[in-house]
Amino acid sequence: MIDHLSLQVADVAVSAAFYDSVLRPLGGHRLVELGDGAVVAFGADRPVLWLVPAVGGGEVREVHLAFSAPDRAAVDAFHAAAAAAGAEVLHAPRVWSEYHPAYYAAFVRDPDGVSIEAVCHLPE
């Protein structure tokens, strides 16, 4: 179970605009802005995803973040919003039966290269 997740991003405003559009179909929205948008948090009813400015140097490591979708239409809307926002589409929406027979998901990259997924576990 995840209480919250914080991602260090290159540009909080750019990443926040991206998450504004792709989380909307999943029921998420911007809940917190601190320091004139220097830190932004998203969620449905409480802050779950925090975007903060990147600090320090070092090698970037792959991060994967999956968001629950209430139905397959929300996965499709997430995918459309991400593509419209200029995200790299890794995998268009489809059933991933290798995970389980009803696993319907789409995968994209956010502005910082994070692998983002929207997934619905319900059958059609």
pTM of the predicted protein model: 0.87
- Residue 37 has a pLDDT of 84
pLDDT value, residue 41: 96
User: What's the pLDDT at 55?
Assistant: 82
Contact 120, 72 (CB under 8 A): yes
Judge whether 120 and 13 are in contact, CB under 8 Å: no
Please give the radius of gyration of the chain, using alpha carbons only, rounded to the nearest integer: 14
Strand partners, 106: 118
Euclidean distance between the first and final Cα of the chain, in Å?
26
Name the H helices within 11-66: 12-23
Q: Choose the weakest-confidence range: 1-5, 55-59, 97-101.
A: 55-59
What percent of the chain lies above the pLDDT cut of 70? 97
> How many domains are contained in the chain?
1
**What's the domain range around 77?**
5-55+62-120
95 pLDDT tier (thresholds 50, 70, 90): very high
Q: How many CA atoms lie within 13 A of 34 on its CB side?
A: 9
What is the reported pLDDT for 111? 93
Specify the CATH number for the domain of residue 35.
Answer: 3.10.180.10
Please give the pLDDT value at position 1: 64
